Amino acid sequence: MSETLKRTPLYDRHVALGARMVPFGGWDMPVQYSGIIDEHNAVRKAAGLFDISHMGEFEVRGPDALAFLQHVVTSDVSQIGEGQASYALLCHPNGGIIDDLFIYRQPDGYMIVANASNIEKDFAWLLEQVVGFDVALTNISDQTAMLALQGPLSESILARATDTNVIDLPFHGITTGTLFGSIPAQIARTGYAGEDGFELFVANEHIEQVWDSLLALGKDDGLKPCGLGARDSLRFEACLALYGHEIADDINPYEAKLGWVVKLNKGPFIGSEALKQIKEAGVTRKLVGFEMVGRGIARGEYEIHNTAGERVGYVTTGMPSPTLGKNLGLGYVPLELTKEGSEFDVIVRGKPVRARVVKTPFYQPRYKK
Amino acid sequence: MSNIPADLQYTGSHEWIRIEGEQATVGITDFAQAQLGDVVYVELPEVGASFDSGANFGVIESVKAASDLYLPVAGEIIEVNSNLDQNPDLVNSDPYGDGWLVKIRVAQGIGALMSAEAYSKLIAESDH
C-alpha cells in the first residue's frame, strides 16, 4: 500500500473495527465494516456513522466574504440565512463544473465543504479569484474532522449526545454547540444519504472520543459504523451527484440536471456568460436514471448504445440498489433518449444489455423539513 | 483471518481448485470473498465450454464492482453451480462449500498452482 495515502484521525479506529481500507481521493479510507448492504440498510432503517474527515473545509472571512462567494459560485449566497447552509457549484468560465460544495453561513463568515479529491484544486482556484476582494481564505481541512450521522434515528441519538436543541434544527441548518458535555462542535442538519441526518465538525483531537461515544450511545438503536461503499450506494439511490462521475470539469450544470443551482439573475459570476448561452441554446445530452431490463449490472464508464447499435453515451454510476432490489444506473445520453420509458443498451463486457429510463430520484429522500 | 484449507490448491488471482482425478471443482477463496464484499451476481459459462489455464471464464459482481474469474487449470466445464443464480451470497457465506463456481474436466497438463502455505504468504503480503 502506498506510503503517500493520507489518514484521518480515526484511522486506528477503523482498523480496530475490522474495516476494509481502500485508497480514495488520496486517502486511506474504510470502504466497509460489516458489509455494504448491511450498512446501507442500517442507514435507511436506523442510523449510520461515517468518518468523512477526508472532506475539505475552507473558511471565508472578511468584509467581502459574501461578494467573493457570489463571484465564484453559481448559487445565490445572499439567500443563505444566518445559521443556514446551501448546495453550490464552482464552475469554470466555460460553465464546466470544478466541484460541488456546501456553503455554511456562520456568525462570522462562511465555511465551504469541498470534495476530498478536489481540496488542492478548489483552494488554488479560489486563491486565484480572491484578488481584489477583502477576504481571508483559510484551508482548515487538516485540523477539522467531520462525521456524518445519517438515518431516521440520528435525531434521537444526537439529542442524547448534546444539550443543543437539535430537534428544532431546521433542514440545512447549522449551529454551534458542545457534544458529550464539553467538546466544541458545529452541528449541521445536512448529509448525503437521502435521509434525515447531521454532519458534525469537530477538532481532530476530540474526534476519537466523539466517534466512540456516539457508537456506544446509538448501539441499541441499531447505529452502525458505515464506510464509503454504503455512502456511495445511499447517495446513488437518492441521485445525489458525485464529482468524477455525474459531475466533472467537462460537464455543465444543465447537463447534470443541476440547473436549479445556477442563479443567472443574481448578477455576473464566473461562468455566468457561458451558462446563460448554454441555457438558451439548450443542451445536447443529459443525465438520466435507468433500470436494467436485461440481465447485467451497469458500472461507471460502460458505454451506452442506442438500439441501432451506435455509441451515444456512457454510464456515470451503476450498481444493484440495496433498497429497491433492482439494477439501476445513471448516465449521459442524447436528449432524444431522456424520456421516461426510452430504451437503450448498456454494453456489459462486450454484450448489449437493454436498459429503460426511469424517474429519478430512484429513492425519494426522507428529509425532516 | 482468512480460512485457507490445506487440502486445496490456489492461484495468485484468489481462486481455489480441488482436483479429484480427471475432475476438479473451482471457487474463490475466503480472502477474495471478503475483499469483494456482498456478492450479488455471478456470471458463469455454459456447460461444454473449454478454457485455457488462466483464461477468464466468468465474472463475479459485488455491490461495488465487477471482478473477472480465472480458471486455475485448462479444462472443459462439466457443471456450473446453478444455486448461485438465486443465492449469489453463498459465495460469501460458504466459499469452499456451497459457494463453489464450476466443475471441470481437467485437460492435459496442470500448470503452476500454489499450496495453502504459499497462498497464505501471498495474502499476508498483499494485506499490507
Mean pLDDT of A259-275: 98
Predicted confidence at residue A2, as pLDDT, reads 47
Which pLDDT band holds residue A1 (cuts at 50, 70, 90)? very low
Cβ–Cβ gap A229/B40 under 8 Å: no
Residue-wise pLDDT for A279-316, tens only, equals 999 999 999 999 999 999 999 999 999 999 999 999 99
Which pLDDT band holds residue B127 (cuts at 50, 70, 90)? low
In chain A, the domains with their CATH numbers are 11-51+143-237 (3.30.1360.120), 56-139 (3.30.70.1400), 284-369 (2.40.30.110)
Residue-wise pLDDT for A73-103, tens only, equals 999 999 999 999 999 999 999 999 999 999 9
Q: Is the pLDDT of residue A154 over 50?
A: yes
How many percent of chain B have pLDDT more than 90? 87
Taking the Cβ of residue B61 and every Cβ of chain A, the question of whether any pair is shorter than 8 Å is answered with yes
Residue A182: C-alpha distances to residues A73, A185, A186, A243, B23 (Å): 35, 9, 13, 36, 66
Which pLDDT band holds residue B75 (cuts at 50, 70, 90)? very high
Which pLDDT band holds residue B2 (cuts at 50, 70, 90)? confident
Cβ–Cβ gap B63/A233 under 8 Å: yes
Predicted confidence at residue A73, as pLDDT, reads 98
**CA Rg value for chain B:** 14
Mean pLDDT of A40-54: 98
Give domain limits for chain B: 9-112
How many percent of chain A have pLDDT more than 70? 99
Cβ–Cβ gap B37/A36 under 8 Å: yes
Mean pLDDT of A201-205: 98
Q: CA-nearest residue of chain B to A39?
A: B38
Contact list, A1 vs chain B (CB under 8 Å): 128
Residue-wise pLDDT for A321-369, tens only, equals 999 999 999 999 999 999 999 999 999 999 999 999 999 999 999 999 8
CATH hierarchy code of domain B9-112: 2.40.50.100
Predicted confidence at residue A3, as pLDDT, reads 56
Q: How far is B28 from chain A (nearest CA, A)?
A: 18
Cβ–Cβ gap A36/B41 under 8 Å: no
What mean pLDDT is reported for chain A?
97
Which residue, among A2, A43, A231, A297, would best test binding to B if mutated, counting the most B CBs under 10 Å from its CB? A297
- Kindly state the cell numbers that stand for A64: 467581502
Contact list, B66 vs chain A (CB under 8 Å): 297, 299, 349
Which residue, among B30, B35, B38, B89, would best test binding to A if mutated, counting the most A CBs under 10 Å from its CB? B38
